[in-house]
Structure 1
């Protein structure tokens, strides 16, 4: 029978009366070491069967003749051994169940590992498709932005055209003769008075809609195909002309006007327009003459005339004017100072220089100088770098030099739109630490001038630092680009000239269709080999953390 003592069940069985003298006890009691009633019953059934066999064996041994008579101690020893064997059997069963559980767990773990391996392979395969989809969507967004900008520009042009046509209609209507009412019928005796004839009206000039600023807006500034540099330069030139002569109708601008404008330009100080506040153009010419200041170069004046000549070519084609007064002017375009590359000694001197500008941090200064030296980027390209312009292409971190529609900025030319791998030295110096989640520009403390030029103050501050260090006028910030170009072209390396042109944003010397297609498909690894060839042992400018 079973008996619950405390938290464990006990097995109890009465010893038969005839065996009690031999065993010296009236019952068998043994702890089953379990509180589970079902398990206790199973063990008790087994014990009941074994004790029954034990009692039968004792009877057989006591009734059959034997050479040796069992004593009570022998029987007790046998019983104790029997109980130990039973306990060992129970332990073996538990060990078997434990091993079976471990085997099942191991099998389950293997199945889960196989499933995870399958999932990882699936993710690897589908991940490539996601990358292609992301690239497609990115290109689609860019195309949509360009299309939207072009459409918006065309709408603006059409509105200007409509406004101009409306003005023309109003002015034409104003020149037409009014219809005369029929003369009243006279009596038969009266003769009809003769109707006076009116002379045709003289054609009036529509000067209000044909001023130089209106024509510039219509044919140049509203042209979506013009680059940002062309638009900015043309606007500057026309603003100078209007300040000097007023917003004249284009039909009143003659060769005499063009000659006077040339004299004014060549008399302007070279720094005119670069400061926050500028003197009026005629006052500035007077001050430059009295103080003997350096004036605009012939090349700059020629650029102003070229922009106006481009506008007048359109006006001549449309027969708005009869000739172009801005053509065939000669200018002295000889360079006063030839720019040259940095020497190793000058780079070492620059590395130790102290940057003292209050508005632009030492961190920005060091970052921009390092980028200029190890990439050959132009100053304007560096100043307009955005955080989104740093991308990972084929496992290589790169600068994306491309138009910024929202800032109305674009590279100098079509060749300037390019991919430039980031030099490993720049990465070690910490250029990627400039990237911030909510930051638009890579160098955010650069300001935009009133003329819309970003980083103009940095160029002026760098020029002052260069002068303070005693460096010659032939050395400028643009000399970093010359230095990189010269070093690359003097390399005894296996990369091609086209790769160098692609990295620097130069037009290829051979502009065949095949060359243009090849240039646009140069592998980024080849471009990286060009960039990594730039080494400057004497230059060591650390980028501070703050």
Structure 2
């Protein structure tokens, strides 16, 4: 007999175990509901219909979507019992139940930061400090029980009127003064939703601490109108040809020459390129590779970022290995000795800031095309050439969602990855770089619009 069925006096009952984390809400360890039948088949059918309703109540309670009183009353209704607790009008409307001991928002931010700061890098901590300040300035330091869905809607609407990096661009100005400025370019939908997600994390912290019973941010993010692949643009073949043709000489600042080339022919992130050591250019099974790792001061985005990326033949032909040997003979550990690491943002700022200026002056005015566009170009180029997604993910350092190949499968051998990455070629004839767009897709091209 199924574990969720029980027999008493010949009658079948549905047996629902109360999750351990909800024992404060439901004092009994299990809930029994009569199925009013002695027939096993009928009992199983009835139970299969009723179980999801009980599980739904458990999930909504756990996530803070309904209060404990509401949860108990829903269970009572399903058991055909009279609810023991009478809900206040405020609770029925789904508003937070005020707690006399609930702290103000600033105190919750301090608690949340204290609980999470050990897992934050200095850069992440600085970003969160800026996000928290912005949320606090918009909402005010009021009790967290007073943050309703209407308050969250006001926060969302205010954020859509503010520029990105508001404190950096308009120091000393209030939020309302910034909003009143003419010709403001608002922050992206992605940034607005990120701030709403952070506010939601604060509200979940309040639920765990017993300061409130619901999360007012749920379902209030702005729906994106762009597909994920349209949030940043890939460079076209012609863009990359132009970049290669106007790169500065590697004589004085070699990172300004080799950095974009490595990005274009490997898809590596800017931070991964800037953090390279001389020892990270090595031969593995007879293939020259970039060893992307977190040794010494280097920091990677995630665990999947650690990988070997074969060096494209074009880079070898341009003299990359000779350059590496020159740096090695000079006694340097880092491949780019002039790049200085900062705790907040690593080795990136100098090269990143230079490339932004170079990109706008010599390549494109399109703000959606940045150094990160090289990664999109590599991903798109390999995809159009028919390369398997799992191989593209390994080259780019993305997590593989497939259990079979991701958990149990080993990494691809460098020789196989070299064959794949060698398919990219911006400088040969058109056929050699098959799959690359030479111009931007037209607005009228046939494609599905994201909803």
The TM tier, using the shorter chain, reads: 0.5 to 0.7
Relative to its length, the structure with more helix (as a share) is 1
Structure 2 CA distance for partners of 1:470 and 1:396, relative to 1, 3 Å: closer
Q: Does 1:418 align with 2:307?
A: yes
Aligned pair partner of 2:112 in 189, 197, 216: 216
Structure 2 CA distance for partners of 1:332 and 1:286, relative to 1, 3 Å: farther
Structure 2 CA distance for partners of 1:293 and 1:208, relative to 1, 3 Å: closer
Residues of 2 paired with 1:398 and 1:248: CA distance?
Answer: 55
Residues of 2 paired with 1:361 and 1:308: CA distance?
Answer: 46
Residues of 2 paired with 1:422 and 1:484: CA distance?
Answer: 14
Task: Name the residue aligned to 1:501.
Answer: 393
Residues of 2 paired with 1:468 and 1:401: CA distance?
Answer: 31
Q: Does 1:532 align with 2:422?
A: yes
Larger-Rg structure: 1
Task: Name the residue aligned to 2:244.
Answer: 351
Residues of 2 paired with 1:403 and 1:228: CA distance?
Answer: 16
Structure 2 CA distance for partners of 1:424 and 1:355, relative to 1, 3 Å: closer
| Equivalent residues in 2 for 1:362-377, closer than 5 Å | 362-377=253-268
- Match of 2:289, SS state, is strand
Structure 2 CA distance for partners of 1:524 and 1:232, relative to 1, 3 Å: farther
Displacement of 1:450 in angstroms is: 8.3
Residues of 2 paired with 1:480 and 1:505: CA distance?
Answer: 14
Aligned pair partner of 1:461 in 354, 377, 382: 354
Aligned pair partner of 2:292 in 381, 401, 410: 401
Displacement of 1:488 in angstroms is: 1.7
Which protein has greater RCO, CA pairs closer than 8 Å, 6+ apart?
2
- Superposed CA deviations along residues 469-525 of structure 1, whole A, max 9, x for unmatched, are 362514332221122122222336xx64422221112333x522x211355432222
Task: Name the residue aligned to 2:201.
Answer: 310
Verify the 8 A CA contact 2:270 2:372 in the aligned structure 1: yes
- Match of 2:288, SS state, is strand
Structure 2 CA distance for partners of 1:305 and 1:395, relative to 1, 3 Å: same
Verify the 8 A CA contact 1:376 1:480 in the aligned structure 2: yes
Q: What residue ranges of structure 1 are gaps of 5+ in the alignment?
A: 1-202, 540-546
Verify the 8 A CA contact 2:291 2:308 in the aligned structure 1: yes
Verify the 8 A CA contact 2:278 2:333 in the aligned structure 1: yes
Q: What residue ranges of structure 2 are gaps of 5+ in the alignment?
A: 1-98, 430-451
Verify the 8 A CA contact 2:103 2:211 in the aligned structure 1: no
Task: Name the residue aligned to 1:325.
Answer: 216
Task: Name the residue aligned to 2:26.
Answer: none
Verify the 8 A CA contact 1:211 1:248 in the aligned structure 2: no
Q: TM-score, normalised by structure 1?
A: 0.50
Displacement of 1:295 in angstroms is: 1.0
Aligned pair partner of 1:523 in 388, 408, 413: 413
Residues of 2 paired with 1:252 and 1:259: CA distance?
Answer: 13
| Equivalent residues in 2 for 1:250-269, closer than 5 Å | 250-251=144-145, 253-255=147-149, 257-269=151-163
- Superposed CA deviations along residues 101-130 of structure 1, whole A, max 9, x for unmatched, are xxxxxxxxxxxxxxxxxxxxxxxxxxxxxx
- Match of 1:487, SS state, is helix
Aligned pair partner of 1:445 in 338, 352, 357: 338
Displacement of 1:419 in angstroms is: 1.9
Structure 2 CA distance for partners of 1:213 and 1:281, relative to 1, 3 Å: farther
Aligned pair partner of 1:484 in 369, 375, 378: 378
Residues of 2 paired with 1:347 and 1:318: CA distance?
Answer: 52
Verify the 8 A CA contact 1:423 1:532 in the aligned structure 2: yes
Structure 2 CA distance for partners of 1:209 and 1:464, relative to 1, 3 Å: closer
Task: Name the residue aligned to 1:428.
Answer: 317
Q: Alignment RMSD, CA only?
A: 3.8
Residues of 1 paired with 2:170 and 2:202: CA distance?
Answer: 26
Structure 2 CA distance for partners of 1:302 and 1:244, relative to 1, 3 Å: same
- Match of 1:293, SS state, is coil
Q: Does 1:290 align with 2:186?
A: no
Verify the 8 A CA contact 1:288 1:294 in the aligned structure 2: no
| Equivalent residues in 2 for 1:146-165, closer than 5 Å | none
Verify the 8 A CA contact 1:383 1:454 in the aligned structure 2: yes
Verify the 8 A CA contact 1:348 1:538 in the aligned structure 2: no
Structure 2 CA distance for partners of 1:354 and 1:256, relative to 1, 3 Å: same
Displacement of 1:268 in angstroms is: 2.1
